[in-house]
Structure 1
C-alpha cells in the first residue's frame, strides 16, 4: 500500500531536504545537495531502496499526531500506545562542515519500546554500503559516500537483512538522540554536533527568521509556513531556490509525467522575488536576484529555462530502471531535458525580475543593465520564432501567447526603466516600437473574438491558465473585456472542482505525452488573483479558502491536486513540496489581505 504524497513532511538544512512520513520513516534524502543521489529512496521504490524508521515497536501504521514546532522546520511526531506516549523530533540543523540528520526520541508518559530500522542505499537506492563499527558509531561506506550513525546515550545496534537495527525503551522524561552524518568517504569524519544544542538553536533561529514576516492577515500561519518552505528550498551557498526537493513524483498516478524538479526555474523568478520582498525578506530576495544574474550571464541566445543550484547549465536526463516509481509511476527520471528547450517567456521573467529589484531598492549592480540591453537586442528578432512555452510541452514548438506576452513584458520593463532613469543608455524609441508591435500581433493573432478569449497559441482553440497573468503583468488592464472574457473562458474550460488545470491534455498534439494530470495549484491561485483584480473579490476569497484547505496537516502543498481519485476523495500530485504552489499562496494572501495584514 503506497502512502499519499501529502503523508509527508519536510525537514532540511537549506542545502538539502528529507521527507518524513506519518509512520516515522524518512523515505527521501539526497546528500549532500538537493540534486545529489538519494541515500533514502523508498519514496520511489520500497524499503530496500533506503529508509530510516523510528517508531514504537508494534506500531504498523501512521502516528497519532504530528506538527511542526510553531514557526520552525522542526517536526514532532507522536504516538499514543497502550504502554504510554512517545515523541520523535526530526530536524536537519544548518550545517557547519557536513549534513546531519537528527532524530530525538522522548518519552512523554509510561514506558514505550521503540525500534529503529536504518537501511542506507546510496546512488538512488541502488548501492548497499559496507558497514563497520568505529568509535561507538555504525559507519557505512560505498564508493564516494560515507555515513556515520551514533546515539546519545548509546543504544545497542545490530545488523540484519542489510539494515542496522536498534530496540530500546524510553520512559517519561527520558530521551535518546540519533545523529546520522554524511561526508565524502575519502575525508575524515567531521566534528560531532550536540543534538540537543542543535535542536535548541534550530528552534531559536527559525522563529527569529519567521518573526520578520510582515504579513499578519488571515491564514498567517500558512503564509509563514509557505515562506519557511521557500527558505528550506533555498540552496544557501548560492541563493538559488529549487522548484521542489524531489524527482518523479507523478502528475498522474501510474502515468509517465514524472520529472526531476531539483533545479531552479526562471519562470518562478518574478513571483518569487515579489513574495519575498512583500513579506519582508529583502536579504533572501537579494540572494535570489544575485543567483539569477550569475546564472543567466553569457550569450542571450543561450538563456535557459532552468539551471542547477549554482547556475550549472548541463542537466542531462536519464532514467533509473531499478526504481518502480511512486505508486508504480515509471519512469523515474534524473536530470531534465527541458533544459534544452527554447522558451521566450523567460526573457520577460528576467527583465521583470530585475525591474522589480531595481524599483524595490535592492543594492544596485551597474553591470546588470548592460546584460538587460543585450537581452532586448536579442529579442528584436527572436521574438518572432515559435517556442515550447511556459509548461515545457514536448509536442513541438508553437507561437504560444503567454510567451509573446512575456516578450512584451521584457520590452515594457526596459522602456519604463529608461523613462524613469534617463541617464541610462538604451534604444528607447526602438524598444517602444518592439513593445507596440508585439502587443498588436498578440491581440490580432492570439485572441479569438468569437469566444472573447485569448488562446494558448496563435490560431488554436485550446486555452492556457497562464493567460490569467495578462492583467497581472500589465499587458491589458483588468477591466478590459478581453481580460474578463479570458478569465471566464479559462474558468469554464479548464476548471475542475473549482480549481484550474494548466491546459487541456485531451490531445497529444498539445504536449506529446499520453495520459492526464491533476489541477495545477499555482494556476488556481492565479485565478483567485485575476478574480480579485477584476472586482470579484468575494469569489477570489472563496477560492483562496478552498485552496488553503488543500494543504496537508502540516501546511504543505504539492504541484497539483487530483479532485477525485476514483473514490470521491481528492489527493495531492506532483513533486512535493512545490515552491511554485507556496509562492502562489503567499502572493494571493498578500493581494487579498496585504493592506489589512501588513505588520
Structure 2
C-alpha cells in the first residue's frame, strides 16, 4: 500500500489506518501512543493486521466518509454482487469514558446479490513482539475469539474464524438487505471480557457526535468542504480525555523511502498543538482553547527551565527515542523509531508559538484562569534567560545549533505578546523589560538575519528557509516588506521544485542527517498565503488548487509529497499540513493581511 491508500478511523483517543484493500494495518491500543496491536504498516501481514474484503480478487472498491464523520464506508462491487463495509470506532466524548475498553466495529451491509467476503486477522501486541495466547469461546451462533498477551487482550465477535499459519481466517456471506457486525474490543487482560455493543446505538451516537461537531464550524468559502475535513482531522488527533493534540497518528513513515528520516509523531509538540488550536479558534472552538490551556498548565508545571518542546498525550515527559529493529519499516525504511529524541532539544521558537496562540485566545474572549497568566509570565522569564542561546530550530535539526532567524523572530513575538497583554488587557508584568527585549531582538534580526536584502536561514548564512514565510504571519514585518519580497524570490529560486517547496536545502549539512526529503506540504500552503496577501491572487489560487488535489480520496494529507513518484511521504495524517491548509484557505477569503 501507498501512504495515500489509507483512511483514518478515530475515537479521539486512538486511531486506526484502513487500506483501500480493506485491511486495518495500524492500530495502537488503548491510546494513540500505546504499543501497536496491528503493526503491518511498518512491516507485513505477520506484524499484525485485520483484513476484510471480498473473496473475488477482481472486485472493485470505492470509499468515502459518511458525511462529516469518521464512519468510513467502503463499497465493494463484483460482477453479480455489491456490499459495503462500514468501519467506525464508537465515540461519545461528552459521556464518562470507560478506560477498560476500546472498540472498533466493521459492519457488513449487503446491497445487491450475494457477496462472499474473507476475514483474516493476525494480532501482535507490543509492536509485534508479543504473539498472543488465543482461545475460542462463545457458541456456534455467537462465536468469540479472545487473544491475550501481557497486559493486553482482544475479543473478536461476529463471525467464526480458525487458526491457519499463525493467523485466523474465516468466511462471511451477506445477501441484499442483510447486515452482519464484527466487533473488536480491547480490554486489560486481567479483567473479564466486556459485554458486546449495541452497534445500532453506537453507530447513531458516533455519527451524530462527529456531524454535530462539524456543523458548528464557522467557515464559508470556496474551500469549505476541504477546510471542514481538515478541521475534523485535527479534532481526531486531539485526545478528548487530556486535551493533548498529537502531531500525527503514526510513527516512522519515511520522509525518504529507504532512508533513515523516520520519526515518531504520536506526541504533542507545543508548536504544532498551538498552531492547531489557533486554527480551531479561528473557526469558533473557544472551549477547546480552554482545555488545551489546562493541558499546557499541567504539562509544563514546575520550573520553566525544565520546559520541553514536546510531551506525551497526557503531558508525559519521558519520550526516550529507541529503535525497533524487529520491524522492517514502511517500504523497507529503517530504522523504525519509538519515542522522539527531539524532546530533549532546545527550540527557541516554541515559547513564542505558545504565547502567540494564548494571546489569540485572549483576544477571542477566553478568560484568564487562576494560573494562566502566571504561566505566561514564567515562560517569558524562561525565554529571557535563553536569549543568547542558539537552538535546533523549527525543523528539529540534529546537527549543530544556530541562531535561526525564524526562532529569533518567534522570541520577538513572545515578548511582543507579553507587552500587548499588559498594554491592551491590563495584566501585570515587567512590561518595560519585555519591551526592551522585544526591541533588542528586532534590531538584532534586522542586522544578523538579513543579507543582500533578504532574510536568511540563520545568522551568518546565505541560505533561505521556508520558515521565513511565517515572519509576516506573526506581525514581524509586512508581507510586502521589500526584504520579505526578496526572501520569497530566493525561496522560489532555491527551494521550489516541481512547483512545491522544500523546507530548506538538505545538501548544506545543516540538519546533520544523511539522505534527502520531499517537498514539505505546509511550506507550500504558507506560500499560498504569502501570494494571497501580496496581490498574486492567480498564483495563490493555482497553488492552492494543486495542493488540495494532493489529498487522498478521503481528504488526508501526510507530511510531504514526492512530485516525481507522485505519492505522499511521511507520517499521516499530519496536523501541520492540515492546519496550514486551513490558514491558507482563510487567507484566500480575506481582502487584507491579518497576522496571527
TM category (shorter chain) comes to over 0.9
Figure out how many residues of one structure are paired with residues of the other and give that number.
582
Structure 2 Cα separation of the partners of residues 290 and 439 of structure 1: 31
Q: Structure 2 regions of 5+ residues with no counterpart?
A: none
Superimposed CA distance per residue, residues 557-592 of structure 1 (whole angstroms, 9 cap, x where no aligned partner)? 000011102xxxx11000000011111111111121
Structure 2 Cα separation of the partners of residues 156 and 335 of structure 1: 37
Structure 2 Cα separation of the partners of residues 182 and 397 of structure 1: 44
Is 1:148 the counterpart of 2:155? The answer is yes
Is 1:161 the counterpart of 2:161? The answer is no
Is 1:49 the counterpart of 2:47? The answer is yes
> Given that residues 353 and 410 in structure 2 are in contact (C-alpha distance below 8 angstroms), is that contact kept between their aligned partners in structure 1?
yes
Structure 1 runs of 4+ with >3 Å offset = none
Change (3 A) 1:60 1:162: farther
Return the match for 1:247 from 251, 272, 276: 251
Superimposed CA distance per residue, residues 376-400 of structure 1 (whole angstroms, 9 cap, x where no aligned partner)? 2232241111111111000111111
Give the equivalent residue in structure 1 for 2:299. 295
Q: CA deviation at 1:296?
A: 2.2
Q: Structure 1 regions of 5+ residues with no counterpart?
A: none
Give the equivalent residue in structure 1 for 2:418. 414
Give the equivalent residue in structure 2 for 1:285. 289
Q: Return the TM-score normalized by structure 1.
A: 0.95
Give the equivalent residue in structure 1 for 2:362. 358
Structure 2 Cα separation of the partners of residues 537 and 270 of structure 1: 28
Q: Return the TM-score normalized by structure 2.
A: 0.95
Is 1:137 the counterpart of 2:144? The answer is yes
Q: CA deviation at 1:595?
A: 7.8
Q: What is the DSSP-based 3-state SS (H/G/I as helix, E as strand, rest coil) of the residue aligned with 1:114? A: strand
Q: CA deviation at 1:192?
A: 2.2
Q: What is the DSSP-based 3-state SS (H/G/I as helix, E as strand, rest coil) of the residue aligned with 1:383? A: coil
Structure 2 Cα separation of the partners of residues 324 and 60 of structure 1: 30
Is 1:120 the counterpart of 2:118? The answer is no
Give the equivalent residue in structure 2 for 1:593. 589
Q: CA deviation at 1:239?
A: 0.9
> Given that residues 18 and 28 in structure 1 are in contact (C-alpha distance below 8 angstroms), is that contact kept between their aligned partners in structure 2?
yes
Aligned runs of 1:311-390 on 2, under 5 Å? 311-390=315-394
Structure 2 Cα separation of the partners of residues 269 and 233 of structure 1: 10
Is 1:574 the counterpart of 2:570? The answer is yes
Superimposed CA distance per residue, residues 258-301 of structure 1 (whole angstroms, 9 cap, x where no aligned partner)? 00000011112442222111212222232223222322222222
Give the equivalent residue in structure 2 for 1:36. 34
Structure 2 Cα separation of the partners of residues 285 and 377 of structure 1: 23
Superimposed CA distance per residue, residues 114-172 of structure 1 (whole angstroms, 9 cap, x where no aligned partner)? 11001111011222111112233100011111000101xxx332111111211121111
> Given that residues 64 and 554 in structure 2 are in contact (C-alpha distance below 8 angstroms), is that contact kept between their aligned partners in structure 1?
yes
Structure 2 Cα separation of the partners of residues 579 and 380 of structure 1: 30
Structure 2 Cα separation of the partners of residues 160 and 302 of structure 1: 51
Q: What is the DSSP-based 3-state SS (H/G/I as helix, E as strand, rest coil) of the residue aligned with 1:279? A: coil
Is 1:70 the counterpart of 2:80? The answer is no
Q: CA deviation at 1:480?
A: 1.3
Structure 1 Cα separation of the partners of residues 460 and 588 of structure 2: 35
Q: What is the DSSP-based 3-state SS (H/G/I as helix, E as strand, rest coil) of the residue aligned with 2:113? A: strand
Give the equivalent residue in structure 2 for 1:520. 520
> Given that residues 130 and 140 in structure 1 are in contact (C-alpha distance below 8 angstroms), is that contact kept between their aligned partners in structure 2?
yes
Change (3 A) 1:595 1:86: farther
Structure 1 Cα separation of the partners of residues 385 and 395 of structure 2: 23
Superimposed CA distance per residue, residues 390-433 of structure 1 (whole angstroms, 9 cap, x where no aligned partner)? 110001111111111011000100011111133x2211111111
Structure 2 Cα separation of the partners of residues 533 and 273 of structure 1: 23
Q: What is the DSSP-based 3-state SS (H/G/I as helix, E as strand, rest coil) of the residue aligned with 2:540? A: helix
Q: CA deviation at 1:366?
A: 3.3
Structure 2 Cα separation of the partners of residues 294 and 406 of structure 1: 23
Is 1:481 the counterpart of 2:477? The answer is no
Q: What is the DSSP-based 3-state SS (H/G/I as helix, E as strand, rest coil) of the residue aligned with 1:71? A: coil
Give the equivalent residue in structure 2 for 1:14. 12
Return the match for 2:197 from 180, 193, 199: 193
> Given that residues 246 and 273 in structure 2 are in contact (C-alpha distance below 8 angstroms), is that contact kept between their aligned partners in structure 1?
no
Structure 1 Cα separation of the partners of residues 470 and 225 of structure 2: 27
